[in-house]
């Protein structure tokens, strides 16, 4: 399949049967355009850098084939849209745009003990590509390409290293990186890449760049 990296946590997966868009949030300037070309949208949780209710509601109104998946905190504000807004939780599986998708996890990573845990799910696509949302979520199954968050108030280098070691993917792909400068992205590549502490090759595509997985 092909993966196109967009701003922050937004990625588009395609393999000829329509685009699967994951987490087109408000940090992504072209989120509305990406959604307009999507067969389906997957949302991991309701933080605005991953989820823009206005964009999705508008798209659902004018795209009769569009389906949006997410946890209850995401689907509730969108409404039903004739069954095209689907609430998912860990253990669910479905097929969209020719992809087989499995759902894992329950909670967003802890930012601080003063803040209650919120819903967050991860998506394993074609038993190959895993987007964990905002959590170092271990699916407990083999993963070829792990989309690895490298910035944010909950991210630590130690946590990221331990996460890659636990999941043991074939490769990682750096995402959730808007809070990093170019030097910061390069530094994370050094720490978390093949020559760093994980021994796992890391891809760091630029915004808009497409890579084949």
Q: Exposed (0-12), middle (13-18) or buried (19+): which is 92, by Cβ within 10 Å?
A: middle
pLDDT of residue 94: 98
Q: pLDDT by residue (tens digit) across 26-74?
A: 999 999 999 999 999 999 999 999 999 999 999 999 999 999 999 999 9
pLDDT of residue 68: 98
In a domain, 211, yes or no: no
pTM of the model: 0.97
Q: pLDDT by residue (tens digit) across 84-114?
A: 999 999 999 999 999 999 999 999 999 999 9
In a domain, 30, yes or no: yes
Phi, psi angle pair for 114, to nearest 5°: -75, -15
In a domain, 8, yes or no: yes
The answer to whether 83 touches 60, Cβ cutoff 8 Å, is no
In a domain, 40, yes or no: yes
Asked whether the predicted pLDDT for residue 17 surpasses 90, the reply is no
Residue 82 domain boundaries: 2-199
Alpha-carbon gap, residue 119 to 136, rounded angstroms: 14
User: Per the structure, how many domains does the chain have?
Assistant: 1
Instruction: Find the CATH number of the domain harbouring 73.
Output: 3.60.15.10
In a domain, 205, yes or no: no
The answer to whether 153 touches 164, Cβ cutoff 8 Å, is no
Mean pLDDT of the chain: 97
In a domain, 159, yes or no: yes
In a domain, 195, yes or no: yes
Q: How confident is the model at residue 3 (pLDDT cuts 50, 70, 90)?
A: very high
Alpha-carbon gap, residue 35 to 49, rounded angstroms: 15
In a domain, 52, yes or no: yes
Give 76-82 contacts, CB < 8 A, sequence gap 24+. 77/46, 77/53, 78/53
pLDDT of residue 147: 98
Average pLDDT over residues 4-9: 97
């Amino acid at each position: 399949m092909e993966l196109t990296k967009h701003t922050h946590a937004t990625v588009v997966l395609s393999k000829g049967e329509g685009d699967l868009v994951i987490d087109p949030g408000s940090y992504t300037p072209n989120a509305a355009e990406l959604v307009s070309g999507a067969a389906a949208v997957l949302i991991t949780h309701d933080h605005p850098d991953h989820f823009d209710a206005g964009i999705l509601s508008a798209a659902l109104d004018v795209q009769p084939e569009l389906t949006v998946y997410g946890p209850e905190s995401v689907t509730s504000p969108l409404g039903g849209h004739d069954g095209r807004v689907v609430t998912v939780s860990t253990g669910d599986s479905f097929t969209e745009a020719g992809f087989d998708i499995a759902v894992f996890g329950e909670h967003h990573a802890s930012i601080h003990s003063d803040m209650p845990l919120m819903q967050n799910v991860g998506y394993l696509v074609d038993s190959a590509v895993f987007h964990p949302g905002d959590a170092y979520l271990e699916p407990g199954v083999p993963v070829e390409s792990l989309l690895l968050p490298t910035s944010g108030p909950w991210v630590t280098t130690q946590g990221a290293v331990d996460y890659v070691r636990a999941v043991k993917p074939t490769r990682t792909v750096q995402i959730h990186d808007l809070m990093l400068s170019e030097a910061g992205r390069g530094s994370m590549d050094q720490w978390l890449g093949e020559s760093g502490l994980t021994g796992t090759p890391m891809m760091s595509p630029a915004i808009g760049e497409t890579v084949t997985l």
